[in-house]
A and B are shown apart, each in its own frame.
Chain A
Amino acid sequence: MSSPKTLFEKVWDAHVVRPESSDTPAVLYIDLHLIHEVTSPQAFSELRQRGLKVRRPDRTLGTMDHSTPTTPRNALGIIPVIDPQAINQLDQLRKNCAEFGITLFELGSLNQGIVHVIGPEQGLTQPGMTIVCGDSHTSTHGAFGALAFGIGTSEVGHVLATQCLLQYQPKTCAVRVEGQLQAGVGAKDIILALIAKYGVGGGTGHVFEYMGSAIRALSMEERMTICNMSIEGGARAGMVAPDETTFAYVAGRPYAPQGAAFDAAVARWRRLPSDEGAQFDREMTLDANHLAPMITYGTNPAMGIPIDAPVPTLADMPDAPSRQALDAALAYMGFEPGRPLLGHPIDVVFLGSCTNSRISDLRTAAALMKDRKVAAGVRVLVVPGSQRVKRQAEEEGLDAIFTAAGAEWREAGCSACLGMNDDKVPPGKYAISSSNRNFVGRQGPGARTLLASPLTAAAAAVTGCVTDPRTMIK
């Protein structure tokens, strides 16, 4: 009998075209390549220069999300793009997809949305696949038991031309999250707590496999939130073993196998979970029972604390570089060491991004905001992850709850997560954001970002300050 294998090893082994040797990395086959307007144009230019075709347009899909506006549609039902650079970038993607025969989900069309929302939503993301995209949050798709990771534009070119990548096999890390979450605590709090515990470089060189009772109990969308931020823990990718929750989510989606083909696929997917006794190179643990809602106070995602805890002091830091980093972060954020964040006024609430813009995230936020009003002076952007999420939310009347509260109901896209479209947080202003990065200037020059769950963001929208959402739910 062969030795027990991890989920990662099974997916990796099933995609090795040519094994790693002493002189060369492995040639790894890619099942699905997702592209968007920002990290693909230079790769297509490279293809043209070399006279190459896209090898497998049937394994490639484009969407528009990063530089797109999320402003409401005009009278003609069109989302107006004003920024000339964005117009050019979107035109370029349109032209590239047409020329190379790639399906493109056009801005505003029914299937368009954030690349990491539409893959799962369309049933393109499936267990056991290898999936790449020129975007670090490709780790999201690992929630299905796929090996999914972000690549740069040179590698986008490699996959377009050959459907393969040159890769050295990463190490594995078991991330055990045991216990039961308390009311008001969710997937976002698990991943923020894990990153706070192990640091932004903690997972470098490793692929995480999230496991344990707390992970098993999560929905697919919650698992996506966790896998999404694997990169914030430094990991190459994050994975969750597929189970009945996974199969039920994939079943019936447009690009998923149907009928007998689906049953055959499920039979294959059932063999993917890590074998009993499989060895991991490393292990991390987190106790879900005692988790509180998490919030970040600093300028990287590991600078997070339970929402009712004080901001750390220099004396809490283990070494000089951490003290220097804390000092710089608190100066940028305008926070005092040792003081609580609870009650600190905020200016903007951003509910969206590939981390937390799916229907369950919007439902959670809407449930808290129902029959309540956005606090005076606070701008609240609610940005669904895709046009389909938007439509679903509208069918459920969630848009009416948000707009009645005084929030803005926007079109689908990356929006204020990354400060490259019209949605930005003004300089010096405080934003509670359901996104994934609180880096200096990430949401716009001088913007001060506090990362939190959609529920914590919704609570702040209503109170106008950092608020423990547990005090506001029934």
Chain B
Amino acid sequence: MEPITTINGKAVALPIENIDTDQVIPASYLKVTDKAGLAEGLFQAWRYLPDGSLNPDFALNRPEALGATILVAGRNFGCGSSREHAPWALQGYGFRAVVAPAFADIFRNNALKIGLLPVTIDEESYHELLSHIEEDPATMIEIDLPNQRLIMPGGRAVPFPIDGFARHCLVHGVDQLGFLQQQEDAIAAFESQHAVAVNTLQPN
């Protein structure tokens, strides 16, 4: 995974609460066995008109949003299905971070695993950010991961929480599976005394 330190990018806003992962990418795109083509399905119902052409009124399709790498969205972003296809599609489209006042748990976990940065900011800063984007659709923001702060247009720094381990992994490009594999001795020791038995290979 590519290390992430600072993300400087154009922000685009979808100021809607509870955007579920079926909206991020509908299930009809989930029939792949790799990650190819998922970006096409991103926000499908909103991004395209019924005839398949781009919906000119949708925020991501406006000319000034072209090249945006930071998505700003409402509370509880990514609720619903656990599909990792949702962060894959966002990343495939070009997003590097999602900024919201709150994230659904599974989406947040999935995003952190693939290096799509979920940035939780307070409601007041969120609304301030929305007004900046409304005034200037080419609004640039900076996300400084090592110092856990988002720099608003105008320079105000907004702190955001992220667990130390995830931050370490993202900043240094550390792979979490590799870390788990290093726990082999502890896992084997645990298994040798663990009482909960089940055997899927053979009914009892």
Contact = CB atoms under 8 A, between A and B. Distances in A.
Nearest to B203: A254
Contacts of B134: none
Interface string A121-149: 01110101100001110000000000000
Nearest to A130: B196
Contacts of B59: none
Interface in A11-41: 14, 17-18, 22-25, 27, 29, 31-32, 38-39, 41
Interface string B163-204: 111001000000011011101101100110011111111011
A25 B28 contact: no
A261 B190 CA distance: 21
Given A17-B190, A151-B106, A300 B20 contact: yes
B8 to A, nearest CB: 26
Interface residues of A, number: 89
Given A153-B84, A166-B165, A441-B26, A324 B104 contact: no
A273 interface: no
Interface string A214-250: 0000000000000000011010100000000000000
Interface stretch (A175-183, A199-207, A340-348, A397-405): A199-207
Interface stretch (B61-69, B71-79, B89-97, B143-151): B71-79
Given A59-B200, A439-B23, A441-B45, A164 B83 contact: no
Nearest to A84: B31
Contacts, number: 217
Given A83-B31, A201-B75, A59 B198 contact: yes
Contacts of A161: 177, 180-181
Nearest to B32: A85
A288 to B, nearest CB: 26
Given A129-B198, A201-B79, A22 B27 contact: no
A57 B110 contact: no
A408 B41 CA distance: 31
Contact of A162 (B31, B104, B180, B195): B180
A423 to B, nearest CB: 12
Contacts of A101: 201
B23 A440 contact: yes
Contact of A201 (B18, B34, B163, B184): B18
Contacts of B79: 200-201, 234, 300
A131 to B, nearest CB: 10
B33 interface: yes
A163 to B, nearest CB: 7
Closest 4 CB pairs of A and B: A420-B27, A152-B110, A152-B84, A85-B31
12 contacts: A25-B165, A31-B196, A39-B82, A67-B30, A136-B106, A155-B113, A164-B183, A166-B180, A255-B200, A300-B79, A420-B31, A439-B20
Given A23-B165, A39-B83, 8 more contacts: A88-B33, A102-B200, A152-B82, A158-B177, A161-B180, A200-B79, A201-B18, A255-B203
